[in-house]
Amino acid sequence: MKRIAVFTSGGDAPGMNACVRAVVRTAVYHGIEVYGIMRGFSGMIKGEFVRLDSASVANTIQKGGTILKSARSQKFLTKEGRQQAFDQLVNNGIEGLVAIGGNGTFTGASLFEQEFGIPTVGAPGTIDNDLYGTDYTIGYDTAVNTALEAIDKIRDTADSHDRCFFVEVMGRDSGYIAMPCAIGGGAEIVMIPETQMSTEAVIESLKSSWRRSKTSFIVVVAEGEEEGNAHTVAQRVKEAIPELDTRVTIIGHIQRGGAPSAADRLLASQIGIAAVEGLLNGMRNVMAGIVDRKLVYTPFTDTINKKKLINQSFMRMVEILSV
């Protein structure tokens, strides 16, 4: 293999640049030409290829976002679009791909490989930490710490005014951000998609604490919670407990930005190296990840279809520590 390309796709995550850097420098180390594909699958279709070398990725390990940009591509969902992408790769002599992204990215990459045979190794880049086949995803640690910093500040004002704050964090299908934020932020309650915490249970818990003369509360809500978003839950609670002074804070996309933590830089570097060396060793249609501190390669089919379970004992931790 003489020439590969790397791209980032889906939502950006802190540490993506560190991963791109590792991919580029590993390719250079092994004497392989490496190109960056701008704007993910969309740029692949349009032929937006940029030759990269060690200097191209200098001073990027500490930067948030992605220097390769990211974009959604409806056209890649069509056979015609994927054919155009394949033609662009062939015209540019690309023999293998490193795809940095999440579930949607790997779904597209898997289908693309099946149809056209371009070997692809994935790097898990998503703040949600919801990918099967790795203990942690690139960007997750930074996102948790960003949200936790905000919750610490919200706790100060909640305590000062005897208020109940409903804090919504990211996690469309996963409570992996919400759970550590709840434990680390001293929240009284956490609501995540993986559990059956009803609004009625939240109301009863808050009433019980209120009767014990507790006057300020933090309720962490994952955006994908089945009971509704933070505004919906807060409104129902206010109707049931009128005397409770409620507020809602949605932390939002701030969780995606900022300089990656030390843990994310290390993880991104490990996985970037593993992705390139996986390609060189004949790997294809797999994601590189770290499980129990060991490098593993998980087939895209497992990464896409298997559910990564959250530790249910964490719910008990929140209950015990909120007394």
DSSP structure string for 127-173: TT---TT-SS-BTHHHHHHHHHHHHHHHHHHHHHHT-EEEEEE--SS
- φ and ψ at residue 208, rounded to 5 degrees: -65, -45
Q: What is the DSSP string of 190-252?
A: EE-TTS---HHHHHHHHHHHHHTT---EEEEEETT-TT--HHHHHHHHHHH-TTS-EEEEE-G
- The tens digit of pLDDT for each residue in 231-265 reads 999 999 999 999 999 999 999 999 999 999 999 99
One-letter amino acid identity for 268?
A
Kindly indicate the confidence band of residue 322, based on its pLDDT and cuts at 50, 70 and 90. confident
Binding-site members for ADP are 21-25, 155, 186-188, 212, 214-216
Domains of the chain: 3-139+260-305 (3.40.50.450), 141-256 (3.40.50.460)
Residue indicated by tokens 């640049």: 17
Residues 174 and 208 sit within 8 Å (Cβ to Cβ): no
> Pairing state of beta strands 96-101 and 120-124?
parallel
DSSP state of 12: -
Binding-site members for Mg(2+) are 103
What is the structure's pLDDT at 38?
A: 98
- The tens digit of pLDDT for each residue in 56-86 reads 999 999 999 999 999 989 999 999 999 999 9
Catalytic residues: 128
Give the list of residues 6+ apart from residue 175 with CB closer than 8 angstroms, or none. Answer: 190, 192, 193, 194, 195, 222, 310
Q: What is the pTM of this model?
A: 0.95
Binding-site members are 11, 21-25, 72-73, 102-105, 126-128, 155, 163, 170-172, 186-188, 212, 214-216, 223, 247, 253-256
- What are 221's strand-pairing partners? 168, 191
Q: Residue length, the chain?
A: 323
Q: Environment class of residue 76 by beta-carbon count within 10 Å: exposed (0-12), middle (13-18) or buried (19+)? A: buried
